[in-house]
Amino acid sequence: MTDFADFILTRVQNQIGFITLNRPKALNSLSLEMIRSITQTLLDWQERSDVRAVFIHGSHERAFCAGGDIRFFYDVGTATPLGDSALLEDFFTEEYALNYLIHHYPKPYVSLLNGVVMGGGMGIAQAGPDNRLRIVTERTKMAMPEVNIGLFPDVGGGYFLSRCAGQIGTYLGLSGEIINASDAIYADLADVYLPSEQIPALMTLLEQSNTSDLRDSIRQFAAPFQQQLNAGPLATNRNALDQHFSHNNVAAIMASLQADPSPFAQQTFKLMQTRSPLLMCVTLEQLQRGQKLSVAECLRMERTMVRHCFKHGEVLEGVRALVVDKDMQPKWQPASLEEVSPELINSFFAEVWPAYAHPLRELN
């Protein structure tokens, strides 16, 4: 049995609570035990008068957090006929509850997104607008790549992606494309840029600064480096992106991309051809619904959706192809967009529990 005791390191210094994700061999992917450790730490610090802010980062330059432990999803999901195990139920319920806690955390919450930031890593980085500061570096590789494994952009993705300007969130959710620091800031999924060579100086600032506004101090420290950012692919291709991804169904989006000979459109078209047709359609519906929902409502919707995902089995096939057998040849069901019916899409949003019994019913 794996010992997760040292995968989350915590300390309080200079009235700042430091959380270090320390599972470098797995790119800091989250286990249930790690989720519980972060949750308990944040709950404890929430009540402590000697903790004025939280700073979360990874222990290694390769990754902040690559997401949830998808090999765990596969091992547990294939151990039962419908993937309906207590461990999976606990994982997603507690992960989404943590996402909600972070979004509404009452103290400044600073995340250093150095290296890979994907899936569940985004969930523990995207705090609410009143308390967050998200720092990116030249090493940042950010994505919500769930459609590549037959899942959807969860951990609140239905909320924060649907609130990106124009069709940026739709593009990121349906393509699963990786973006850099410049585009992360452009998409409002990050706030400031800092060269990774400046991280030691940043840590010294955090440990010694007596300012009452930690986020303002970090912004001032990072200000000289913002001019180093050049326009990224999102900004460069924004008009085409908004045009293609404004359609109301995935088939129309694909047709629009295919008809455009530009490198951006053709690259995106080829990328989306490898994704789960069903989950791209489900993701588009999720983002359209998410525009009108609160954080709590989005997380409740996603908790329902994830139950249907494991029951259907698409995510288990995606993880098999990507991580287990590594043949990169998932057998998606249905195999084409033409076979995805509105009824099948809507089935992923069908209520699983009555409102009073929903696992996230206490989120307000």
Q: What is the CATH number of the domain that holds 274?
A: 3.90.226.10
Give the chain's domain count.
1
How many Å apart are CA 322 and CA 145, to the nearest integer? 12
> pLDDT tens across 137-186, in order?
999 999 999 999 999 999 999 999 999 999 999 999 999 999 999 999 99
Confidence band of 83 (pLDDT split at 50, 70, 90): very low
- The active-site residue, picked from 95, 146, 314, 317, is 146
120 is catalytic: yes
Residue 253 lies in a domain: yes
**Is residue 8 a contact partner of residue 41, using CB atoms and an 8 Å limit?**
yes
Residue owning tokens 């590549």: 148
> Would you state the pLDDT for residue 74?
85
> Residue 132 falls within a domain, yes or no?
yes
Of residues 78 and 226, more confidently modeled: 226
Q: Above 70 in pLDDT, residue 80?
A: no
Q: Any catalytic annotation for residue 17?
A: no
Q: What is the pLDDT of residue 81?
A: 56
Q: Is residue 362 part of a domain?
A: no
Confirm whether 119 is a catalytic residue: no
Q: Across residues 43-72, what is the average pLDDT? A: 95
Interior angle at CA 225, CA 219 and CA 228, nearest 5: 140
In this prediction, residue 213 carries a pLDDT of: 87
Lowest mean pLDDT among 188-202, 282-296, 307-321: 307-321
pLDDT at 5: 61
* Structural domain contains residue 194: yes
Mean pLDDT over 179-207 rounds to: 97
Catalytic residue of the set 17, 58, 67, 68:
68
| 175 within 8 A of 311, measured Cβ to Cβ | no
Q: Is 146 annotated in the active site?
A: yes
Whether 96 is in a domain gets the answer yes
Catalytic residue among 120, 157, 169, 290: 120
Quick check: is 49 in a domain? Answer: yes
Mean pLDDT of the chain: 94
How far is it, in rounded angstroms, from Cα 96 to Cα 92? 6
Across 75-98, average pLDDT: 82
Average pLDDT over residues 220-242: 96
- Residue 123's nearest CA partner among 150, 148, 154 is 154
Tokens found for residue 69:
């432990």
pLDDT band at 76 (very low <50, low <70, confident <90, very high): confident
Question: Is 223 a member of any domain?
Answer: yes
Average pLDDT value for residue range 240-259: 98
SS (H, E, C) the chain: CCCCCCCEEEEEECCEEEEEECCHHHCCCECHHHHHHHHHHHHHHHCCCCCCEEEEEECECCEEECCECHHHHHHHHCCCCCCCCHHHHHHHHHHHHHHHHHHCCCCCEEEEECCEEECHHHHCCCCCCCCEEEEECCCCEEECCHHHHCCCCCCCHHHHCCCCCCCHHHHHHHHCCCECHHHHHHCCCCCEECCHHHHHHHHHHHHHCCCCCHHHHHHHHHHHHHHHCCCCHHHHCHHHHHHHCCCCCHHHHHHHHHCCCCHHHHHHHHHHHCCCHHHHHHHHHHHHHHCCCCHHHHHHHHHHHHHHHHHHCHHHHHHHHHHHCCCCCCCCCCCCHHHCCHHHHHHCCCCCCCHHHCCCCCCC
98 half-sphere exposure, CB direction, 13 A CA radius: 28
Comparing CA positions, the residue from 133, 137, 154 lying closest to residue 145 is: 154
- Parent domain of 131: 8-357
The span from the CA of 274 to the CA of 339, in Å, is: 16
Q: Domain for residue 2, yes or no?
A: no
Rounded to whole angstroms, what are the CA distances from 270 to 192, 243, 337? Answer: 32, 18, 14
